[in-house]
Amino acid sequence: MERLQKYMARCGAASRRRSEELIAEGRVAVNGKTVTELGFKVAEGDSVTLDGKTLLPESRKVYIALNKPVGYVSTVKDERGRKTLLDLVDVPERIYPIGRLDYDTSGLILLTNDGEIYNKVIHPREEKNKVYIALVQGILSKEEVRSFETGLEIEGYLTSPAELKTKRILGRNAEIEITIHEGRNRQVRKMCEKIGHPVITLKRVSIGRIALGDLPAGKWRYLTEKEVEQLK
């Protein structure tokens, strides 16, 4: 027996957290009966459907690194008709992104059909560092860097310790490298805004030990076995 949301993640339907949302929305049925209880457990031989489609465990787990360009949403479907990650990655498995990048942010994003690995990347306690390169307005002072690194109060929460390095000065602007392990919505942009240096461009270049490297914008690759082990 295993929890329904865990089974759904194992089938590649969605992450555990998203599976819980799908269950609560009444879109999941077990043996023909709609289930909305998050603690519901399924046994071997049970029939599980999502929106009427049968879910079966994925026989092949895939792990993909994509260099997302600006102008794509970090989902597999968009109600507004915008371009999604699946316009860039075409594989037979049903995959979904691990975490998100903003519409106007580019860089490294991971996709998989392995629901077990989701929290290994996005949960703060795992402390998977995420590194970004940003072009920001203005030149940062030592005091501004210190406040950025020690924690900023944003929308009622205090950000965790971070790192910020100025890489080079470009006229009146600065190119900086930011390292965080949190993943709140538009966090890097909000942190830069908080210290008075709005982001002009933003790109994620690594997650943990997985680096974007020279992967061209809009292209993807499978993770190596070593990279997958590092995630796990």
pLDDT of residue 220: 98
| Global pTM exceeds 0.75 | yes
pLDDT of residue 193: 97
- Do 2-54 and 129-207 agree at the fold level? no
Hey, what CATH topology would domain 2-54 get? 3.10.290
pLDDT of residue 119: 67
Q: Which of 203, 162, 221, 165 is nearest to 70 (CA)?
A: 203
Is 87 among the catalytic positions?
A: no
CB half-sphere exposure, 149, CA atoms < 13 A: 14
pLDDT of residue 122: 67
Tell me which of 46, 78, 102, 104 is the catalytic residue.
Answer: 102
Report the run of H or E that residue 157 belongs to, with start and end. Answer: strand 157-158
The CATH number given to 63-121+212-231 is: 3.30.70.580
CB 46 within 8 A of CB 58: no
pLDDT of residue 125: 63
**Amino acid, single-letter form, for residue 175:** E
* Secondary structure class of 80 (helix, strand, coil): coil
pLDDT of residue 202: 98
Domain residue extents for the chain = 2-54, 63-121+212-231, 129-207
* Secondary structure class of 17 (helix, strand, coil): helix
Hey, what CATH topology would domain 129-207 get? Alpha-Beta Plaits (3.30.70)
pLDDT of residue 72: 97
Q: Which of 223, 230, 231 is nearest to 65 (CA)?
A: 223
* Contacts of residue 68, Cβ cutoff 8 Å, sequence gap at least 6: 74, 85, 88, 101, 105, 106, 107, 108, 109, 217, 218
CB 63 within 8 A of CB 98: no
Q: Along the 232 residues of the chain, how does pLDDT read in single tens digits?
A: 999 998 998 888 888 888 999 999 999 999 999 999 998 999 988 999 999 999 988 778 899 999 999 999 998 888 899 999 999 999 988 888 988 899 999 999 999 988 777 767 766 566 689 999 999 999 999 999 999 999 999 988 899 999 999 999 999 999 999 999 887 889 999 999 999 999 999 999 999 999 999 999 999 999 999 999 888 7
